[in-house]
Structure 1
Amino acid sequence: MTQSTQQPSLAETLRAGKWEKRMVLLYAPAADNAEFKQQKSLLAQAQGAVHDRDIRVLELTANQLSAADKQYLQQQLKVEPTQFTVLLIGKDGGVKLRQTKALTAQQLFGTIDKMPMRQQEMKKH
């Protein structure tokens, strides 16, 4: 059974989330990548804080990406196709943090909590 609805492209997903969500892109050449697994685990343990900060986590592996998404990752986001990469993309669509090792929750949330938009959000709550 095939689905006729095509998944939105990575570019479309990021555009749709702009001003709504912060995006954390987890990219790995393969799903069994150790850093990829570690990063997923670290984020899963901090689910409440992820939710509080309007973060949407996108898990991307090379074998699941379309040619267009691979090209977008390499050309627009400057992701090396053979290397684990985690990117934090702010609500404004800009890359705020780029790392090729798993990020701790403290690193991720510390970066977000310094952002002017996040500071405004914290004052509202």
Structure 2
Amino acid sequence: MNRRKILTLAGAGLMALAAGPAQAAPLDKYRWKRRLLLVFAPVKPHPNLVVQRQRLKEAAAGLKEREVTVIEVVQDSVFVDGKLAIEMNAKNLRKQFDTTIVEFTVLLIGKDGEQKLRRDEAVKAEDLFKTIDAMPMRQQEMRQRGQKT
């Protein structure tokens, strides 16, 4: 094999390796494992964000029981359960979920990766839990744990 062909094949292999993990959607690792609550806010002191954080803090036990991971996208930063997630890109998440940097949006994503709820204001924990508890997968989880449906 000549040198030119070897270099071409090596370059193609490196490009394929580089494209592999980088192309995987950052939320794919949660599919079938966790429900996601995405909270998009233009700025940290946004009034709806302050209210949503307080409601989620008060509902922490219910979120844990329902296997919900909270992802905040604020300005150019992404936080997963309160911790900075440098592997996630705020601009890409906004594009994926059709939001802009100037709007407040709350999205509930089921374990199947499908959008279950979308609001442009802070969501009450009761509304969130009612939506989750009506999902077939959640119904099955509750039956398996011996809880009332």
Under TM normalisation by the shorter chain, which class is it?
0.7 to 0.9
* Higher deviation after alignment, 64-73 or 78-87: 64-73
Contact kept in structure 2, 1:89 and 1:96, CA below 8 Å = yes
Q: Identify which of 40, 56, 64 aligns with 2:69.
A: 56
1:113 aligned onto 2:133:
yes
Distance 2:32 2:115 in 1: 13
1:22 aligns with 2:22: no
Query: Quick one: which amino acid aligns to residue 83 of structure 1?
Result: E
Q: Percent identity among equivalent residues?
A: 37
Instruction: Tell which structure's C-alpha radius of gyration is larger.
Output: 2
CA distance in 1, matches of 2:92, 2:73: 13
State the match for 1:99 in structure 2. Answer: 119
TM-score by length of 1: 0.84
TM-score w.r.t. structure 2 length? 0.71
Structure-1 residue corresponding to 2:56: 43
- Report the alpha carbon displacement of residue 57 of structure 1 after superposing the two structures with TM: 0.5
Q: What is the letter of the counterpart of residue 15 of structure 1?
A: D
Question: Are positions 1:124 and 2:137 aligned together?
Answer: no
- Aligned-partner Cα distance in 2 for 1:18–1:111: 18
Q: CA RMSD in A?
A: 2.2
Unaligned runs of 5+ in 2: 1-21, 79-85
- Structure 1 gap segments, 5+ residues each: 1-7
1:5 maps to which residue?
none
Q: How many residues align?
A: 116
Counterpart of 2:106 in structure 1 is 86
Residue 92 (structure 2) aligns with: 71
Q: Which has the higher contact order (CA 8 A, sep 6+)?
A: 1
Shift in Å at residue 73 of structure 1?
A: 1.6
